[in-house]
Structure formats: C-alpha cells, structure tokens
Structure 1
Amino acid sequence: MPKPRGRGTSAEPRRTVKASSGSARARRQGKAGERAGAKAGPPAALRDRQERAPASSRARPRKAKAATSLAETAVVKRPAAPEKRAAAERPAAPKGRPPRARAGDQASAAPPKRRPRNAKAKSGADDAELSPPRPPELDWDDTPSESAEEVLAQRWAARGEELFQQLEGHGAALHEYRADLKEGRFVWIAPNGRVSAEASARLLCSWSCATSVLVMAWADPLVSGAEIERIDGMPAEQDGVDEQGAWQIAMRAADACNAAYLYRVSSPQAWYFLALDGLTFSPKRTSFHPGAPVGLVLRAIGEVREAIASRAEPADVVRDRISALSDSLFHQARYAYRDTDWVARLDRTGSCLSHLAKRIPRAGFSAIAAGQRIDEWLERELALELINALSLIEDEWSLFG
C-alpha cells in the first residue's frame, strides 16, 4: 500500500531544510574559488575559469559575484613588498656607467686598497726588460777634454799613490827618509834606526823658495855624479817659476829619463826633485850614515854671497835668502844629522846667518825710529860687511871638505 504523501502525514519523516542566505553562499563559493585558484596555478588561469561561470542567476547571486571579484583582486593585484616595489620603480642604471652611490653609501664605503710600493718598481723593471736597447750615444767632439799638463799631473799623481801604497803595505809609509846624493841612495828609516826601504836616486832639478829660480841638475856643479843627463829642449835655468811650474818641469824631466817615481825633498831653503828607481824592501845595507853636510853648506853660502856681490837682488830677497838658509841648517841639525858630531857646528852656523839677516833693515816704524836707512837695494857698506862675514863662514867649512 503506497504511503501517503503530504506534509501532514506522520508516516513520512520530517526533513529539515536549512535555508541559507545568498551572502553566506557567496562566501563559501569565494573561499572555494580561492582554494581552487591556489591549486590551479597563476591568476590568469583562475581568471579564465571564473569567466566561464554558469549562466544561471540562482547559482551565483549578484553579491556573490562582487565578493568573488574582490577575492580575485586580492589574489591578482597583491601589493609587493616596499623594498621590491622601490627596486621595481627605480629605473635601471645604464650599462656604460656604474651606478652612483648615495651620500650614506660613500661615507660607509671601505677605503680603496693602496698599491704596494714595490709594485711600481716591479712594473718599471719589467718595462725596462721588455723595452728595446737604446742606441749608443756618440761624442763627435774632437777637442781634448783635458790639457797635456793635467794628463801629466794625473799620471805622476797615480804613481805617487802607488808608491805610498807599497810603503804602507810594508809598514814604512810613516818612516823618515834620507837622501845621499853622493852615493845616489834614498832610504826610509824605521824608528829603531834600521833601513826599511831603499831606492836609487837621481837629482832632476832644484827650486829656490826665496828667489823662485829653478836649476836643472846637470847645471849644478855641486851634485856631479848624481844628476840626470841633459834633456834636449829644456833650459838649464829658469827664473820666475812658482811651485806649480816647478812641479811641471820636474814631471817632464822624470818622463824624459824614464823614472819610476818622482819624489820631492823639501827644506826651508829649496825643493829638490828626485827620480827614484829600483824600490826594494830588502836592502843590502840595513843602516844609514848621512854624509858630511859640507857640500850643502858651502853651496848655499856661495849662492848668497854671489847674489849680494852682483847686486842683482833687492834687499828683501837677500834677507829672506839668508834667513831661509839659517832655518835649513837648524832643520838638518834636528832631523838628518841628529845624534852626530855635526849638530853643534850646524847650529853655530845657523845662528851666525840669523844675525846677518837681522842686519838688513825692514821697512817699519822700529827701523825709522832707530835711524836706519831703508832702501830697496842694499847699501854698499852693508853689502861688503855681509860678503866678508859669509867668506869667513866658507873658510871655516872648507877645512872639513
């Protein structure tokens, strides 16, 4: 038997239908659309799927459409983060130029690394190695850079340095020297009196400090046997020669006679230039006894006497010549002839010559106050007095000759 249908029948179970409003249904559909959009993929696909909505107006009321459109807008047009948005809105920097840093970035930026000092040197050395060689610099100037006199002086200065180095190597650089022109012997003597070095000596020339006269050795009769041979083209005597000129003449003479070394022996009265050869540090005679100073004294006194008798020299030159001879004799007594019997005689002669030099007045207030007559040349009476005194000294020394 069929069951009766109707609302009033008790046999039919009661169905409870929950009425839902359109807004609630629209929210459920919106959430479902969001989940479907998240699963489906990008917003473009979701937008295409929503465009194909059913045509029935009952299925999706108008409010639901508005809610769905708001959800789609929230999904599609979600605002980006502030940092990303600033990066997107900032225009891209050109490729050719680096982007400018801000003021804050410049202050916080690290300082640039300094280039090591040796990096520049290394790069310069590499460039020098890789650079092609420079062409040689040629000097086409044919004029001589130095004169013949300078070349001569440099050559003999080098030989003098060589002699000094040899003496220093054997410990004889500071030893005293002695010259015996009669025997032609030149020696260096140690403090204990032993000969440390020896060489043969020849007289080249002599130069007077008072008269500036240079005399070659072959023109001096007092040194016969120890002089060099005559040199062609060189005068026997020259006047008005200074110290540099005396050295130049002596070096030319040493070149002409092929001397090994040039040595100057100085005294208060004159310079003597010697040519040395055969230097040895193992002498055959280990002792040295100087010869008699008779020849030296007689020669010097004779020159002074002849100068006064000829009246060829002014009074000042004669006084300086006699004074220099006196100092020379004192020097020889303290130096070459010390500890010998000649010391007392040399001192006595030096004192006599010193008194004779004082007899020649000097231009000054004391001479004028004493009533002495001052003239450029010696007076005849004073000249005769000096000549007689010198003659007596010569006679005394001649007894030992």
Structure 2
Amino acid sequence: MTGGIVLDLRACNGVLVDPELRQVSTGPGTVLGELDTATAAHGLAVPVGVISGTGVAGLCLGGGFGWLTRAHGLTVDNLIAAQMITPDGETVRADARTNPELLWGLRGGGGNFGVMTSFTFSAHAMPQSVLAGNLIYRAPHWSGALHALREWSSELPDAMTVIATVLVPPLEWELGTEAILAVGFAWADPDHAAGTACVERFTQLAPPDVHDVAATSWPQWQSSMDDVFPKGVRAYWKNTGIDSLDDDTIALLVEKATELTWPGTAFDLHVMGGAMGRVAQEATAFPDRSSAFWINIYGFWKDQVQDAHHRDFIRGFHRDMSAVAQGGEYLNFSSVDAPAASGFDALAVYGEEKYARLAALKRRYDPHNELRLNHNIKVTG
C-alpha cells in the first residue's frame, strides 16, 4: 500500500443494550458519550475513558483507563466479542469460542489486525446518581495532598477510582489562572454514605482549598473533563508506570507542577489496582498491570510555534521520571508521532511472550503490514 485509505466510520455509531444479559454491542464510529447515554438509560455502564468525544474503537484496542478502572477493570477486560475485516477482505469474528486468540490480541494489541466493525462489551450496574467530584489544592498544599494520596490509596475500596490532575484550569472552571492539583474521583456504588466516608478519610489528611463534590448522572460526570481536551489541536503525550509515591517521587511531581504556568499542558496520576490489577497478566495483550500508579503527561496547543517548547517540556518531564518510575508504556497515552518515526518498540512494551503471540496474529491477519501507521507489531518470519 503506497498511499492510504481514509475511513470515516462515524455513521457506524449504533448502540444496542441488552439489559437482561448486561451486554452492549456497538459499531466502530461510536463515541463514549453515546455509549454512556445508551447504557445509563438502563442503569448500566461499560468501563471506558474520561472524555465523551473519544472513539470507542481506538480506546478499547489500546486498553481503556477511566473512572471505573478500579471498580470494573479496563475497557479491554470487558470486551467479550468483536468483528473485523482484514486487509485482504476477510470478515472475522472473535469471542471466547471463535478465534479466542484474536480476541486476546484485540484486548490491548492496538489496531494491528483489521478494520473493526463491531464490539460487544459486558456492562455493570450503575446507580442512578454517581458520587463524584474534585478536591482542589493550590500550590502550597500540593506536597501534603500527594502524601495524603499515598496513604489513602493504599486501602481504597474497589468502588473508588481516583485520578489526580495538575493543570492550569480552563476559564470555564472559574478557578483562576495558576496551576491547581485536582484530586478527582468517582464512587461506583449506590451507597453514597460509604463513599462520602471514604472521601472524608482523605480530606481529613489533606483539607482541600475547594471542595467540589456532588451526586450526578454518569453521562454528566463522564463529560466533565471535556473542556481540558479540545478538538482540532496539536498534541503530544508521554507516560509511565510508578511503583509508589515515595518522597522523591512526590518531590519531583511538585517540582514539575510548579513549572506548569501555561494552559493546555498537564499531567494525570491514575491510582491503579482494584479489579484491573486482579486480572491475570497473561489474560489479555494489555502490556502491564503491576504499577500502583500511572502518570500521563500531555499537552494541547494550536500554534505550531509552540511545538518545540511544549514537546520539550513533556519529554523532559518523562525523562526525569525515569529516575523514580517503574517504566512501561500504555498505548493510548503514547505520543502519536512515535510509530511514524519508528520509535515504538513493541518487544520492549509487551515483553517476549506477548510480543510473540501478537506477531503470530499479525502474520495471520495482516502479513504484509498494511496496517502500519499505528503502534505497530512488525511482521516477522
């Protein structure tokens, strides 16, 4: 393939919910907001990402972190069937009985094997209103909040998923123009009293400067961060896993946070574990589940003149993290220019055993590597 094929799958966005089986089927053009709205109408939810405009297909094939990660696992952990068309035109279904090895590979192996035409997910009961919110900290309290997060996260119940973000807030938030630390959370259980008690254990350790917590609908909470990720902009991402929030790691995070003085660049600290951490490493192609935390460093901007400055900051931050990080790479948090520059090392990311299985699938379904403008699994002999 010397040129390329551009596929607009946006019209393939139908969502079919089976509330009795707690299963959801959808096309490759569906975005998360559509999936959330359809499932919430039945008191259900599929674990997906945190931005309503994200596409289900790309998110799922890479893994799928979000506000239900600790409660119900990654998006790929809830993928029970899929259908795709290979580059040579073969239609292939994958589920537990039909092509189970392909289903394994689709659970974290990226868009390496075919053009996806449908996904079927397990769904989970969700309360009509979700206890969720952000605990906001100004710069003088960042270190204390991160130390408190270390203590609090060590005994979190599965129902509590936490993502701490440092950013210059959007104007719509009316929180000023200086960087803040927002400890965001979602409590995936109808017992709001228990969730409130869980949050209070943290706020007793680190009283927030702003307390923004409320019961809200699942689709509303799922779109609450949309302002942070605008469409039609330039972007760059880096990420890595972290063993623990030791004093050196916290000091480095605070140092980097103080350097963030412009909007659009931020970093998220995901508290991992829970249901996601109990899935066996070999059960999916997803690279690594062992980290206690995951950091995603990213930036969005409009002017090409800002490319060098913003990319250099993100790369430098990621490089500095290597002194305290466990390593690892999550595909959906990886810079999009890495594959094009042949900078993606699939063997290093997946390890020898998973890479060998993924390479075998690549030989079976895309032997000529037609699908290569991605986090590429190279065809081997």
TM-score range, shorter chain: under 0.3
Q: Kindly indicate whether structure 1 or structure 2 has the higher relative contact order, using CA contacts under 8 Å at least 6 residues apart.
A: 2
**Structure number with higher strand proportion:** 2
Name the structure where helix makes up a greater proportion of residues. 1
